[in-house]
Amino acid sequence: MLHLYITDYFIWGLVLLVALYGVQVYRYAHWRQPWGRVFKRHTAAIAAVVLGMYALIGLSDSVHWSVENEQGQQSEALSLLDYAMTPMRTQVEKSYSAPFSIYGLSREMRIDEQGQTERALPRLDHAGSHLPTAQQRSQDIRRKTLVGLAMGAAIAFLSLSLLALLLARGCPVGTWRRLKAWLLQHTPARSAAVTYVLCLTILTTAYYLGQYYHVWGTDKVGYDVFYIAMKSVRTGLVIGTLTTVVMLPLALALGMMAGYFRGWVDDVVQYIYTTLNAIPGVLLIAAAVLMLNVYMHNHAESFQSLAARADWRLLFICLILGMTSWTSLCRLLRAETLKLRESDYVVAAKTFGVSTPMILFRHLMPNVMHIVLITVVIDFSGLVLAEAVLAYVEIGVDPTMHSWGNMINSARLELARDPIVWWSLTASLIAMFVLVLCANLFADAVRDAFDPRLKDEQGGQNTSGSESSPQSLEAQS
Amino acid sequence: MIEYILRRGLYALPILLGVNIITFLLFFSINSPDDMARIYLGDRHITQEQVESWKEQRGYNKPLFINFEAEGTETLTDTIFFNKSLSLFWFEFGQSESGRDIGADIQQRMWPSLAIALPTLILGLMVNITFALLMAFFRGRYVDYWGVILCVAIMSISSLFYIIGGQFLFGKMLSLVPISGYSPDGNSLKFLVLPVLIGVFSGIGAGSRWYRTIFLEEMGKEYVRTARSKGLSEARVLFKHVLRNGLIPILTGVVVVLPMLFMGSLLVESFFGIPGLGSYTIEAIQSQDFAIVRAMVFLGAVLYIIGLLLTDISYTLVDPRVRLN
């Protein structure tokens, strides 16, 4: 039975919005053109593919359903990703184990065949349990890696060929020409295609090996780190996207109204955002989350399950983070509307007697949308990073929810152990770094392509004042 | 000038009042003091008497806005809003939930924060400007291209990584500096080196990229063309003309964060065990000390507004075309 969490609805709503926007972009040349400029950059093309991979993982983790067990009770809701990664999800060890290891990390007392006790590293319950002897491990890993690589490459090439076939509408010559262009000519398309093949190969190999080993080790309570890192993708994406999107209507409405009506409306809006801005972001979030803690502590019964409660908390944190970040967008929108309201087409619309809401909605909003787009894309990376900081301060997402911040937070003392436990920390940092790096590179391209101030300047430099804003929450801490 | 500052001070009042009311509503309307008492005392099976005594000790047992039982001005002053929220205006922070004097704590913990934040800021500025000038000098060439990508990469790494990695590498593996700690007297240098360096390094990405755009913007201006057409060398144009003019937006951008330096850095301080305001805030959040969080929110807002005021004043000092009005 389909069992969607509250953020799932928001995510699919967002997907719908993006799809609608995509249709719009496809239909109008003046939207297509800047996007064409974005994808002319190699870095942007590569980043887009990687971001797409993350999005796929996140989306597959956003379809939840629950199954009825024998007692007729609803089980915990599992997502598509959970089902796909069943072996990694269910093969839980007792405690730490290193990547690809088939032994635990700490010695245990055990009784050998002669009845004597000895201290030895225990064999793991699940990793490498198909091996008859421990000596065959490295050979088995090598063989399985090769199989995984081959499988991944095959899937990647097949899907690319299929795409080419579809685009060429079945014509073999066109298909061949497209494939050749994607793989041999030095174009952004080739960068994207190569990235796609690489990403898919790596993921497939890790997935295939993950059935037999813990590719990235296990954490303190024995969970597979690779699985947790994959589950954290959704949390990161939700924080990065929903935060700006949930506050968009407010920022748009207030910013445009302040710029258009001026006078006392402007004063009130300016007062609101100056006041909110004056509170240091982390502290406002801290205050709000502290109060949320108190509320949830005293109203525990109004949440169906722990997971549902964690999900509400995630949504609430998005709202609060949005509260601290919408002010800069509001200010930008206000300034732009102030400028646009004097432009000829708005004056013309006024003289034709177009009503004020219509002017705002039909004439001004489409012309400030590029600012919204740039802000959403730029803020994304800062928010993903902020999540980790918030988790450290213990005002982030629920501790039971998988997130990179929670991973780092619970792993930060592991480096002091002997032997060093580095995998949990590195897994979350690498997963986060790749996502944020790609988001930053993509955001740069989007900003350069959409910012009209840049068109008459040479060399793709930017003059955008919002440069310092995305990192602000991270920088403050 | 003085008149201007006074007027700006008066403008700040409604904003601070707004901050005050927002925090008050956050802390007292969503949850009643009873709820807070329960979560602070931690146990689900506490008696009502314990809750009442907790509230009385901390002065939460009064009405929120209007006290009908009191007489005269006390109807307004003998309330939670007046005692807990408005009193912040005259910097009377009151006591934390654990019974310590917040004002004294803040005064004491301000200085370690400053000892970290000020060197980080100054060193960071110098390093960032150097890198930005380097990239601007080689603009459009490989140094610039890879420099920008490197900046983006540095920006993309979580600051947690720099701290954890730095502590691990320099503190544990190489044993160059103590992993964490602080000593209030003169020989605190060895404790400060690593946090400052980490703070500088994690800021290089965003900082030098931003300054690079500022320099590039300056280089597109008329006076640079004039300087070049006079036959000045590119290096001379860059260091003599562009750097000086580029410093105006950079320094005015720095002024706004100056007061906030007192607040310290949350992560660095708490990882390195430095008893500053940043770690104070973190400890307060983690131990759910509502009074300290309220005080810090207000202090942060005050410092932010002072920063804005300083920025406006510094504009007139560096750029005579700007007049205060």
Closest CA to A55 of A23, A24, A19, A26: A19
Q: Any idea how long chain A is? A: 477
Q: Do B266 and A477 touch (CB under 8 A)?
A: yes
| Count of A-B CB contacts under 8 Å | 162
Average pLDDT, chain B: 82
Alpha carbon distance B271, A477 (integer Å): 12
Chain B hits for A433, CB-CB cut-off 8 Å, are 156-158, 161
Distance from the A4 Cα atom to the nearest Cα atom in chain B, whole angstroms: 28
**CATH superfamily membership of A235-476:** MetI-like (1.10.3720.10)
- A247: pLDDT strictly greater than 60: yes
Contact status of A267 with chain B (Cβ, < 8 Å): no
Tell me, what's the pLDDT at B76? 65
**Tokens read off for B97:** 């939930």
Contact status of A297 with chain B (Cβ, < 8 Å): yes
**Tokens read off for A38:** 């974005």
DSSP label at residue B264: -
Which range, of A115-119, A440-444, B256-260, averages the lowest pLDDT?
A: A115-119
The CA R_g of chain A, rounded to the nearest whole Å, is 26
**Of A398 and B91, more confident:** A398
- A437: pLDDT strictly greater than 90: yes
- A438: pLDDT strictly greater than 90: yes
Instruction: Identify whether B101 is part of a domain.
Output: no
- Is residue A413 within 8 Å of residue A396, measured between CB atoms? no
Residues B135 and B224 in one domain: yes
Number of domains observed in the structure of chain B: 2
Contact status of A44 with chain B (Cβ, < 8 Å): no
Residue in chain B nearest A427 by alpha carbon: B161
Tell me, what's the pLDDT at B297? 87
Contact status of A389 with chain B (Cβ, < 8 Å): yes
Residue in chain A nearest B159 by alpha carbon: A474
Question: For tokens 């800047």, what's the residue?
Answer: A34
Residue B226: give its domain's CATH number. Answer: 1.10.3720.10
Residues B113 and B224 in one domain: yes
List residues bridging with B101 in a β-sheet.
Answer: B95
Q: Do B159 and A432 touch (CB under 8 A)?
A: no
Q: Do A297 and B161 touch (CB under 8 A)?
A: no
Is residue A474 very low, low, confident or very high in pLDDT (cuts 50, 70, 90)?
A: low
Contact status of A459 with chain B (Cβ, < 8 Å): yes
Which range, of A147-151, A466-470, B189-193, B257-261, averages the lowest pLDDT?
A: A466-470
Residues B166 and B32 in one domain: no
**Tokens read off for B3:** 């008149």
Is residue A464 very low, low, confident or very high in pLDDT (cuts 50, 70, 90)?
A: very low
The dihedrals phi and psi of A218, each to the nearest 5 degrees, come to -125, 160
Closest CA to B79 of B60, B56, B55: B60
Contact status of A474 with chain B (Cβ, < 8 Å): yes
- Highest-confidence segment of A110-114, A203-207, A366-370, B166-170: A203-207
- A52: pLDDT strictly greater than 50: yes
- How distant, in Å, are the alpha carbons of A12, B112, B119 from that of B177? 50, 18, 17
Tell me, what's the pLDDT at A54? 94
- A463: pLDDT strictly greater than 60: no
Q: Do B213 and A461 touch (CB under 8 A)?
A: yes
Residues B176 and B211 in one domain: yes
Average pLDDT over residues A333-343: 89
Is residue B122 very low, low, confident or very high in pLDDT (cuts 50, 70, 90)?
A: very high
Which range of residues forms the domain containing residue B34?
Answer: 2-90
- B104: pLDDT strictly greater than 50: yes
Instruction: Identify whether B97 is part of a domain.
Output: no
Is residue A454 very low, low, confident or very high in pLDDT (cuts 50, 70, 90)?
A: low
Of A278, A393, A468, Cβ closest to residue B282:
A393
Question: For tokens 């067990």, what's the residue?
Answer: A69
Residues B84 and B176 in one domain: no
Instruction: Identify whether B95 is part of a domain.
Output: no
Of B39, B140, B297, Cβ closest to residue A283:
B297
Distance from the A389 Cα atom to the nearest Cα atom in chain B, whole angstroms: 7
List residues bridging with A119 in a β-sheet.
Answer: A109
For chain A, give the percent of residues with pLDDT over 70: 93
- Is residue B116 within 8 Å of residue B268, measured between CB atoms? yes
Contact status of A88 with chain B (Cβ, < 8 Å): no
Question: What dihedral angle (degrees, nearest 10) is formed by the CA atoms of A88, A92, A93, A97?
Answer: 40
Closest CA to A243 of A446, A408, A382: A382
Residues B148 and B16 in one domain: no
Question: For tokens 């629920």, what's the residue?
Answer: A398
Alpha carbon distance B116, B109 (integer Å): 12
Is residue B128 very low, low, confident or very high in pLDDT (cuts 50, 70, 90)?
A: very high
Q: How many CB atoms within 10 Å of residue A195? A: 20
Q: State whether residue A76 is helix, strand or coil.
A: coil
Residue in chain A nearest B212 by alpha carbon: A461
Q: pLDDT tens, A290-306?
A: 888 878 877 777 777 78
Instruction: Identify whether B37 is part of a domain.
Output: yes
Q: Do B285 and A288 touch (CB under 8 A)?
A: no
Alpha carbon distance A252, A436 (integer Å): 26
Residue in chain A nearest B11 by alpha carbon: A271
- How distant, in Å, are the alpha carbons of A162, B7, B101, B258, B297 from that of A278? 54, 18, 25, 14, 9
- B180: pLDDT strictly greater than 80: no
- Is residue B9 within 8 Å of residue B75, measured between CB atoms? no
- Is residue B27 within 8 Å of residue B290, measured between CB atoms? yes
Tell me, what's the pLDDT at A198? 92
Residues B294 and B203 in one domain: yes
Q: Do A433 and B156 touch (CB under 8 A)?
A: yes
Residue in chain B nearest A474 by alpha carbon: B159
Q: pLDDT tens, B279-310?
A: 888 888 888 777 888 888 888 888 988 888 88
Q: Do B15 and A279 touch (CB under 8 A)?
A: no
Average pLDDT over residues A154-183: 85
Residues B78 and B136 in one domain: no
Q: pLDDT tens, A182-217?
A: 888 888 888 898 899 999 999 999 999 888 888 888
Is residue A461 very low, low, confident or very high in pLDDT (cuts 50, 70, 90)?
A: very low
**Tokens read off for A54:** 């993350």
- A466: pLDDT strictly greater than 50: no
Contact status of A293 with chain B (Cβ, < 8 Å): yes
Is residue A460 very low, low, confident or very high in pLDDT (cuts 50, 70, 90)?
A: very low
Of A293, A408, A441, Cβ closest to residue B160:
A408
The dihedrals phi and psi of A51, each to the nearest 5 degrees, come to -60, -40
Residue in chain B nearest A293 by alpha carbon: B39
Name the percent of chain A in helix, strand, coil, to the closest 5: 70, 5, 25
**Of A171 and B83, more confident:** A171
Enter the ipTM: 0.85
Tell me, what's the pLDDT at B74? 66
Which range, of A139-153, B89-103, B117-131, B284-298, averages the lowest pLDDT?
A: B89-103
Residues B194 and B257 in one domain: yes
Q: pLDDT tens, B28-74?
A: 776 677 777 777 776 666 777 777 777 777 677 676 666 667 666 66
Q: With residue A117 as reference, give the H or E element that holds it.
A: strand A117-120
Alpha carbon distance B195, A27 (integer Å): 53
Tell me, what's the pLDDT at A453? 63
Ramachandran bin of A303, using left for φ above 0, alpha for ψ from -120 to 50, beta for the remaining angles:
beta
- A3: pLDDT strictly greater than 90: no
Residues B148 and B7 in one domain: no
- A361: pLDDT strictly greater than 50: yes
Chain A hits for B145, CB-CB cut-off 8 Å, are none
- A276: pLDDT strictly greater than 50: yes
Distance from the B1 Cα atom to the nearest Cα atom in chain A, whole angstroms: 23
Domain boundaries along the sequence of chain A: 235-476
Chain A hits for B39, CB-CB cut-off 8 Å, are 293-294, 297-298
Alpha carbon distance B299, B93 (integer Å): 10
Q: Do A279 and B19 touch (CB under 8 A)?
A: yes
Distance from the A36 Cα atom to the nearest Cα atom in chain B, whole angstroms: 21
Chain A hits for B304, CB-CB cut-off 8 Å, are 277-280
Q: Do B209 and A433 touch (CB under 8 A)?
A: no
Is residue A152 very low, low, confident or very high in pLDDT (cuts 50, 70, 90)?
A: very high
- B83: pLDDT strictly greater than 80: no
Q: State whether residue A121 is helix, strand or coil.
A: coil
DSSP string computed for A24-50: HHHH-HHHHHHHHHHTTSHHHHHHHHH
| Domain stop point among B60, B90, B120 | B90
- Is residue A107 within 8 Å of residue A120, measured between CB atoms? yes
Tell me, what's the pLDDT at A348? 92
Q: Are strands A117-120 and A108-111 parallel, antiparallel or unpaired?
A: antiparallel
Average pLDDT over residues B111-121: 88
DSSP label at residue B99: S
Residues B34 and B123 in one domain: no
Is residue B20 very low, low, confident or very high in pLDDT (cuts 50, 70, 90)?
A: confident
SS (H, E, C) A171-214: CHHHHHHHHHHHHHCCCHHHHHHHHHHHHHHHHHHHHHHHCCCC
Q: Do A271 and B260 touch (CB under 8 A)?
A: no
Distance from the A461 Cα atom to the nearest Cα atom in chain B, whole angstroms: 7
Instruction: Identify whether B267 is part of a domain.
Output: yes
Q: Do B38 and A416 touch (CB under 8 A)?
A: no
Distance of CA A63 to the CA centre of its chain: 16
Residues B121 and B240 in one domain: yes
Average pLDDT, chain A: 84
Amino acid at A101: S
